[in-house]
Amino acid sequence: MKIGPDDVLLIIDVQNDFCPGGALAVADGDAVVPVVNRLAARFDHVVLTQDWHPAGHSSFASSHPGAAAFSAITMSYGPQTLWPDHCIQGTAGAAFHPDLATDRAELVIRKGFRAAIDSYSAFFENDRTTPTGLAGYLRERGLERVVMAGLATDFCVQYSALDARRLGFETTVVLPGCRAIDLGGSLATATTAMRQAGVALVEEIA
């Protein structure tokens, strides 16, 4: 693909808590930063997402006595992985990686700020129906193709990509700009699901 004026780069959750040393570190997570920065310099439109949880969020294992991090429970909206406390509003862990180029971002979508529901996707909460408003923003701006990179491939990137396709956007994920958590084979499952949904998984953008 060649980058056009109606394309948007969606940078997913490149935050300190998802990078080495963070509370929910993705292996090699900080390696996405130079890749994402090179991409951002080439797009006319850049949007960032930021995980932004209140303390005591319902997706934290610490909010469920006796529950272990990375175990799964059933919430009112369906299955939910329980995570270590991470990306708490206003903390250093929730901040963008210090080397991430953010100056050209036209919009920051904060997600996960409702205490009772988690939000992986840039487009919807985990109930799959409560919108973040991003789709309307892109449509009103006339932005038709979404290119994604960030953290983590098998959770927030995957959910965002599948929702983008469900909403009718042409969608590309730049794999060198992503890293995965890979819980119990979740990376392979995510890759298959994205391909089946029509998401283009690419190594580079021409």
- Could you list the active site residues? 13, 111, 156
Bridge partner residues of 11 (DSSP): 48, 149
